[in-house]
Structure 1
Amino acid sequence: MADALTGKVARRLLPFLMLCYFFAYLDRVNVGFAAMTMNRDLGLSATAYGLGAGLFFLGYVAFEVPSNLILERVGARLWIARIMVTWSLVSASTAFVTGEWSFYLVRVLLGLAEAGFFPGIILYLTYWFPARQRAGIVGTFMMAVPLSAAIGSPLSGLVMSLTDGWHGLAGWQWLYLLEAAPSLLLGLATLFVLTDRPENASWLTADERADLIARMAEDHRSRPHRTAHLGGALLDPRVLGLGLVYFGLSTGLYAIGLWLPQIVSAFGFTTTATGFVTAVPYLVSAAGMLAWTRHSDRTGERTRHVAVPTVAAGFALLAASQVGTPLLTIVALSAAALGVFAALPTFWTLPTRLLTGSAAAGGIALINALGSVGGFAGPALMGWIRDATGRFDHALAAVAALLILAGLSVLRLGRDTAPDAARTTQAGEA
C-alpha cells in the first residue's frame, strides 16, 4: 500500500514540478548562450558579464526567506504560480536591455521574481514524501536541471542561429523571448495542477488521504534533533554550516553553467555546434545523479553521499584547468558536472532532517540564500580572473578549491544520527 501510494503521488506531482524547474533553470542560465553574441552587441567585458550573470542571486537572496515563509502561509499552488508568471515576464524583458546597467538591473529583478521557487519545492516535497525516500524524490525532481541544460543547450544554439536578424532582432533577443513563454503558461497551469497538502488531494481516495496523512505525521514525529521554531533554525550553527557547503556547490554549478558555452566556443566551435557539445556534461550528469541518489536511499547514508562527489567534482574541475585539448577538457568538465549534480539532491535531505514547521520554511530558504551567494561569486570570479589573465584555467582552479573545501566541510558537520532507511523501516512496513 505504501509503495503504491507513493508511486501515485509521485506520478501526479513530479512530472509537472520537473517541467516547471526545467524552464526555470533554462530561463536562469540561457544568458550563458546569449552572451556569445550579446556581449559583443552590448559592449560587455568578461567582468561585466560575469557580474551581471551573478547579480541574479542578489535579488534571489534578498527575497528568499520571505518568499518561503509566504509559501508556507498561502500555499504552494498560489505562490509557485506567482513566481513563475513574474519570472517569465522579467526573463523575456532581458531581450530589450541596451547596455551594462540595464543588464544588471534585469538580472537583479529576475532574481527577485524567482526567489523561493526551488526551496519552496523542497519544502513542498516534505509534505508528501517521507524522509527515507526523499533523496530519490529530490534527485528525480532535480534531474530537470541537467536535462534542461542538455536539451536547452542545442536548442538555444539553434534558436540563436535560425532567428538572428528576424524582424530586426538579434538571435540572443529571440532566445529570451521564446524561452520565457513556456514558463508563463506553466505558471498559469500551476493554479489547476498543484495541490497544497495531502488533506486537499481530491485525486486520492479517502483511505489514501488518511494513510498518507498518518504516514507523514509519523515521519515528522520520528525525526530526532529537529528544530521547529524559525528563530532557532536561523541561529542553528548546523544550518549556517550547510549554507556554506551549499555556497561551494552553487559556485561550481553556476561557474560551469554560465561559462561552459563560452569555454567550448573558445575552442573554435560554431554557435550550433557549441550547443550540442555543451549538452554532453549534462547528459552524463542526468544519468549519474539518479543512480547516486537511489543508492543513498537504499543505504540510508547521506553525509558521504554529499562529500565524495563534491570533492571529486573539485578535482575534476582542477583537471579541466590543466588539460589543453577540447576532448580532455570536455571529459573533465563532464566529470565535474556529474559530481556537483550527484551531490545536490542528497544535500537537500540534510536540512529536512533537522527542521520542521516554520523552521523548515525559513531554514531551507536561509541555506539556499547563503548558498546562492555562490551563484553570484562563481560567475563573477570567473569573469574577473578571465579579464585579468586572459585565460579560463586559473578561474576554474579557483572554483575547484571551493568545491573541495565544501566537500570536506560536509564531513565536519558530523555523521548522520542514524541511517534513514533503518530508522523508518517499521513505519514503512506498517
Structure 2
Amino acid sequence: MAPSEQDRIVRQVFFRLMPLLFIGYVMAYVDRINVGFAALRMNADLGIGPAVFGLGAGIFFIGYFLFEVPSNLILEKVGARRWIARIMITWGLLSAAMMFVQGATSFLVLRFLLGAAEAGFYPGVILYLTYWFPKAYRARIFGAFAVGIPVSLAIGAPLSTAILQLDGMLGLKGWQWLFLLEGIPTTLFGFVFLALIPDRPKDAHWLAPTDRTALQAVIDAEQRMVAATHGTSLRRAFADPRLIALSFIYFANTGANLGLAFFLPQILKSTGLSDMQTGLMTAVPYVFGVVGGLTIGWISDRTNDRRLTLAGALLLTATGLALAGFATGSLWAVAFMAVAAAGLYGGKAPFWALPSVFLSGSAAAGGIALINCVGNLGGFVAPSIVGWIRETSGSFEAGLYFLAALAFSAVIVTLLVVNARFGDARPAKGPAAVPAGASRR
C-alpha cells in the first residue's frame, strides 16, 4: 500500500466516522456542562450556594471514576458500537431527568448518576480511534475529536442561555427546559450511533474489500509490535509509572478545564452582563479552543514531538488562567481565558497520542480508561475548590490562580516524564510497523 493509498483510506474513514463521533461528543459535553448555565437561575430557585454547586458539579466525576475502567473493559469485549450507544442513551435520559431536581440532595444524587452513566464514553472513543487510525495520524485525529469540547461550549453557551428564556412556558422553569431539550436529543442520537457505526475496519462495508484488509493489517501490525515490546497485561500497565504520570497530567488539565467551564458563566455574569450576553461572551474562549485543538494536533504530528507540544499547550493554559485571575472583573479576562482555552484543548492532541505508544489490547482498554477516570477526578477536585474559594473570598480571582498553578504543575511533570525513558514518545515518521506488501508512510 503506497503512502498516497493509505492517506486516501484514512481520509475516507475520517469523513465517515468522525462526524458521528464528533456529534456524540458535542452532545456529551453539552449535557455535562449545561448545569453551569442552569445555575444562573436554578441556584436561586432551589437555594443552592456556591459550595454545594461546586460539589454537585464535581461529584459527577466520582461516578465517572468508579465506573470508567469497567466500562472500557466491557467495551473491548462487546464492541464499541453497542456499548457507546448504550452510554449515550442512558446519559441522555439522566441528563433530562435533571429537570426534576428539588434541592441540594436530589441535585447531588442525579449529578453522581449522570457521571456513572457517561463513564467510558470518552476513553471508549479514544480506544475506538486506535482501532481505525495508524499512529502516524493519531495526534491530528485526537485533536479533531477534542475540538468537540470547545465547539460544544461555543454552541452550548448561547443555546443554553436562549433556552433559559423559555421560563414559565407550560409551567416549567427555564432551567428545566434546558435539561429536557438538551438531554432527549442525546438519547435519540444513541440509536443513530447504534445503526451506523461499525466496530473495526474489517466490519466497514463502505470500504472496498482491499482497503478494509489493508487498513486492518496496518492496525494489527502496529498493535502486535506494541504488545511484543510492552505486553498486554492490565496489572503491569496499572503499575507503570508512565501511566501514573499521564494520569496526573490529565488530572491537572481536566481540573483546569472544568474548574473554568463550570464557573465561567458566573464569572462573566458578575461583570454586569445579561444572561444572553453572558452566553455569547462565554462562547468566545472556546472558539480559540477550536483553533488550538486543530493547530497543536497538526504541529504535533508534523514535528513528531509529543513532549514539547504538550508542555507548550499546558504552559499556554497556565499563563492564560493566571492573567485572567489578574483581570477578574473586567472583560479583559475573556481574552486571557481564550489563551487558556487554546492550550487546554490543544494539549489533548499530543497527550492522547502517548498511551498507545506502550499500551495495547486489554492494557490499552484499561490503561486509557484509568488515565481518563483518575484524570477526571480533577473535574471533582477543581470545581469544588473553586466554589469554596469563591464562597470564602467573595471573588473568583484566587480560584483562577489555583487553576493556573494546577496547569503549571502538569508542565513540570510533562518535561520530567515524557522523555527518552518514555519509550517511543517521539515517534518515527510513519507507522512503526506495516504488514508485508505495505510501504511505510
**TM-score range, shorter-chain basis?**
over 0.9
Distance 2:71 2:432 in 1: 35
Q: Which digits, 9 at most, give the CA deviation of each residue in 1:41-91, with x for residues without a partner? A: 010010000000000001000000000000000000110111000000100
* Corresponding residue to 1:291 among 292, 295, 299: 295
Q: Is the CA contact 1:248–1:374 (under 8 Å) kept in the aligned structure 2?
A: yes
Does 2:284 correspond to 1:267? Answer: no
Counterpart check, 1:183 vs 2:186: yes
Q: What's the counterpart of residue 204 of structure 2?
A: 201
Q: Quote the RMSD (CA, aligned, Å).
A: 1.4
Greater shift after overlay, 71-80 or 323-332?
323-332
Are the equivalent residues in 1 in contact too, given 2:164–2:177 (CA < 8 A)?
yes
Paired letter, 1:157: T
Instruction: Give the Cα–Cα distance (whole angstroms) in 1 for the partners of residues 250 and 102 of structure 2.
Output: 33
Alpha-carbon deviation of 1:315? 1.9
Q: 2:314 aligns with which of 305, 310, 322?
A: 310
Q: Which moved more, 1:2-11 or 1:310-319?
A: 310-319
**Normalised TM-score (structure 2):** 0.95
* Contact 1:306–1:410 (8 Å) recurs in 2: yes
Note if 1:404 corresponds to 2:405.
no
- CA distance in 2: counterparts of 1:425 and 1:189, whole angstroms: 35
Gaps of 5+ in 2: none
The residue that corresponds to 2:221 in the other structure is: 218
Q: State how many pairs are aligned.
A: 429
Q: Deviations over 1:11-50 (max 9, x none)?
A: 1110000000000000000000000110000100100000
1:354 alignment counterpart: 358
Say whether 1:151 aligns with 2:158: no
What's the CA shift string for 1:377-396, capped at 9, x where partnerless?
A: 11101100100111100111
Give the deviation of 1:420 after TM superposition. Answer: 2.2
Q: Distance in 1 between matches of 2:320 and 2:10?
A: 36
C-alpha deviation, 1:345, in angstroms: 2.1
Quick one: structure 1 residues 357 and 324, their matched pair in 2 at CA, closer, same or farther if it must change by over 3 Å? closer
C-alpha contact (below 8 Å) 1:83/1:117 kept by paired residues: yes
| Residues 312 and 404, structure 1, Cα contact 8 Å, conserved in 2 | no
Instruction: Please give the alpha-carbon distance, in whole angstroms, between the structure 2 residues aligned to 1:74 and 1:324.
Output: 48
Aligned to 1:422: 429
Partners of 2:253 and 2:340 lie apart in 1 by 11
Superposed displacement of residue 312, structure 1: 2.1
DSSP-derived class of the 2:164 partner? helix
Contact 1:226 1:353 in 2 (8 A): no
1:298, 1:421 within 8 Å by CA — same for their partners in 2? no
Q: Which moves more between the two structures, 411-420 or 399-408?
A: 411-420
Q: What per-residue deviation string (whole Å, max 9, x for no partner) do you get for residues 74-121 of structure 1?
A: 000110111000000100010110000000000000000000000000
Query: 8 Å contact 2:316–2:340 — kept in the other structure?
Result: yes
Q: Which residue of 2 aligns with 1:77?
A: 81
* Aligned 1:298-377 pairs, distance under 5 A: 298-377=302-381
Classify the secondary structure of the residue corresponding to 1:44: coil
> Separation in 1 of the partners of 2:106 and 2:91?
17
1:241 and 1:426 mapped to 2: Cα distance?
27
Alignment of 1:52-131 (within 5 A): 52-131=56-135
Letter in 1 for 2:351: F
Structure 1 CA distance for aligned equivalents of residues 379 and 97 of structure 2 = 21
CA contact (8 A) 2:270 2:329 kept: no
Aligned-pair CA distance for 1:429 = 3.7
Structure 1 Cα separation of the partners of residues 133 and 74 of structure 2: 21
Q: Assess if the C-alpha contact under 8 Å between 1:250 and 1:374 holds in 2.
A: yes
The corresponding residue for 2:39 is: 35
Following superposition, the deviation at residue 188 of structure 1 comes to 0.7
- 8 A contact 2:328–2:397 mirrored in 1: no
Secondary structure in 1 matching 2:429? helix
The alpha carbon displacement at 1:217 in A equals 1.9
SS at match of 2:199: coil
> Percent of counterpart pairs with the same letter?
44
Aligned to 1:166: 169
Question: Match for residue 13 of structure 2?
Answer: 9
Partner of 2:48: 44
5+ residue gaps in structure 1? none
Q: Which amino acid aligns with 2:237?
A: A
Q: Quote the Cα distance in structure 2 between the aligned partners of 1:386 and 1:91.
A: 26
